[in-house]
């Protein structure tokens, strides 16, 4: 769709006699093999026409088998097809007044139509809700990398202004114009900062009916993350479905966790890499607007305050996606407090069980813990295992 659909739209545009602006919406992440993304269209990894021709006679099974070789450094078909589509748009320039716009990860609105407005659970919003509901407990992410996101209203404002600017140009540039709608070097909020603010926000404005206490974290190490996914995601999902099976209820938790795993795999590609973009063309847009239009179409990313913005995103997800009411917050906070106590008790039991297993099978560990005296002696499970040769 991203590639063939672009061809069809371009063919239709060529029949329009009074077309003054053709905006192609791409993605900022369609060039994963570049350390820094300039505002220009680079050569595609393959001829898009040849790729479409091959896809027309290959079966789905054959395409899936060939996908790793076709995608090369691209993580999925989305970024690959977007890159091919850019090459097709470039072919039509300057015959058509085409422009390539590359927004980064789109997040809830900053101001318009209201702070935190969002109508879907894609991307970071879905991650926030999943973590806030206690379903997502671990994510593979490099916390010191900056979070490359853009509020949806700023992205839309930019697209409107770009269309206006393209339409008023009397002479087209030698190269197709490209705008990276990204934070660039202006705002370097890290994923760790986003997580910390998000945790504080979800405790202040908790979601209703959480599955467990929201206390997830990001892990730099992939092996540690995979262990946490097994114990915090997979095991609880199967346990809950087992209980539902016993009570003859419809099982759903494993299915939800599988969908979450797929979504996390996609998002984690972007949170374990550092992305840098040139944004000179994007930042120049504000200079073509008069003061009134600058108020109507704000595009300044430096005015975003992280804490109020992330808090508004959390509230927006509650109100507009989950349809929860703010007047139910006292009940939700009480649920969170109860789950906090349960979470700590379960964690304590798990670690005691782990230590019990270790000292039961590893004599050096038992000898070492025996020096703990009364403190270890009266620990549930562990005390009996350590001092099993004595009368406790």
Q: What residues contact 321, with CB distance under 8 A and at least 6 apart?
A: 118, 119, 120, 121, 125, 129
Integer Cα distance of 343 and 352 in angstroms: 14
Task: Write down the pLDDT at residue 378.
Answer: 73
The pair phi, psi for residue 181, each rounded to 5°, is -85, 80
Task: Write down the pLDDT at residue 278.
Answer: 93
Task: Write down the pLDDT at residue 64.
Answer: 84
In the block, tokens 């789109």 appear at 106
Band of the pLDDT at 368, cuts 50, 70, 90?
confident
Long-range own/partner contacts, residues 358-364 (CB < 8 A, 24 or more apart): 359/385, 359/386, 360/385
Contact, 138 vs 233, CB < 8 A? yes
The alpha-carbon radius of gyration of the chain (Å, integer) is 26
**pTM of structure:** 0.88
* Averaged pLDDT score across all residues of the chain: 90
**For 261-295, how does the pLDDT look when each residue is reduced to its tens digit (9 = 90+)?**
888 888 888 899 999 999 999 999 988 899 999 99
Q: What 3-state DSSP class applies to 257?
A: helix
Integer Cα distance of 72 and 214 in angstroms: 37
Task: Write down the pLDDT at residue 389.
Answer: 64
Q: What 3-state DSSP class applies to 274?
A: coil
Task: Write down the pLDDT at residue 390.
Answer: 63
Considering only residues 340 and 121, tell me which one the structure prediction assigns the higher pLDDT. 340
- The helix/strand count (H/E) of the chain reads as 17, 9
**For 151-200, how does the pLDDT look when each residue is reduced to its tens digit (9 = 90+)?**
999 999 999 999 999 998 888 888 999 999 998 888 889 999 999 999 99
- CA distances from residue 185 to 29, 93, 147, 277, 278 in whole angstroms, order as listed: 16, 29, 12, 8, 8
**Least confident segment among 77-86, 126-135, 318-327, 366-375:** 366-375
Band of the pLDDT at 310, cuts 50, 70, 90?
very high
- Element (DSSP H or E) covering residue 101: strand 98-103
Task: Write down the pLDDT at residue 99.
Answer: 96
Q: What 3-state DSSP class applies to 179?
A: strand
Question: Distance of alpha carbon 218 from its chain centroid, rounded?
Answer: 12
Task: Write down the pLDDT at residue 392.
Answer: 45
Q: Of 216, 193, 70, 248, nearest to 138 (Cα)? A: 216
Neighbours of 102 (CB within 10 A): 24
Contact, 208 vs 113, CB < 8 A? no
């Amino acid at each position: 769709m991203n590639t063939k659909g672009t061809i069809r739209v371009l063919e239709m545009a060529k029949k329009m006699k009074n077309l003054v602006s053709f905006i192609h919406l791409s993605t900022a992440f369609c060039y994963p093999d570049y350390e820094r993304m300039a505002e220009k269209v680079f050569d595609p990894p393959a001829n898009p026409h040849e790729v479409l021709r091959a896809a027309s006679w290959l079966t789905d099974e054959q395409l899936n088998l060939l996908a790793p070789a076709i995608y090369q450094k691209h993580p999925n078909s989305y970024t690959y097809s977007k890159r091919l589509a850019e090459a097709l748009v470039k072919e039509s320039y300057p015959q058509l007044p085409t422009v390539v716009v590359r927004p980064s990860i789109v997040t809830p609105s900053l101001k318009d139509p209201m702070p935190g407005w969002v109508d879907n659970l894609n991307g970071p919003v879905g991650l926030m809700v999943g973590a806030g509901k206690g379903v997502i407990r671990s994510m593979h992410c490099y916390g010191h990398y900056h979070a490359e996101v853009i509020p949806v209203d700023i992205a839309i404002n930019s697209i409107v202004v770009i269309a206006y600017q393209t339409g008023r140009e009397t002479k087209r540039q030698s190269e197709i114009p490209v705008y990276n709608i990204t934070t660039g070097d202006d705002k370097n909020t890290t994923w760790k900062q986003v997580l910390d603010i998000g945790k504080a926000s979800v405790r202040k404005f908790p979601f209703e009916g959480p599955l467990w206490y929201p206390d997830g974290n990001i892990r730099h190490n992939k092996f540690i993350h995979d262990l946490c996914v097994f114990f915090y995601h997979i095991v609880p999902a199967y346990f809950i479905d087992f209980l539902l099976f016993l009570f003859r209820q419809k099982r759903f938790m494993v299915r939800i966790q599988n969908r979450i795993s797929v979504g996390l795999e996609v998002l984690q590609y972007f949170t374990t890499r550092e992305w840098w973009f040139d944004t000179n063309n994007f930042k120049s847009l504000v200079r073509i607007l008069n003061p009134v239009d600058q108020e109507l179409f704000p595009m300044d990313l430096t005015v975003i305050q992280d804490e109020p913005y992330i808090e508004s995103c959390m509230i927006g997800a509650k109100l507009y996606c989950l349809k929860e009411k703010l007047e139910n917050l006292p009940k939700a906070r009480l649920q969170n407090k109860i789950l906090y106590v349960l979470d700590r008790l379960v964690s304590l039991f798990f670690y005691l069980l782990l230590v019990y297993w270790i000292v039961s099978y590893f004599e050096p560990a038992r000898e070492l813990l025996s020096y703990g005296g009364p403190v270890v002696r009266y620990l549930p499970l562990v005390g009996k295992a350590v001092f099993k040769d004595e009368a406790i």
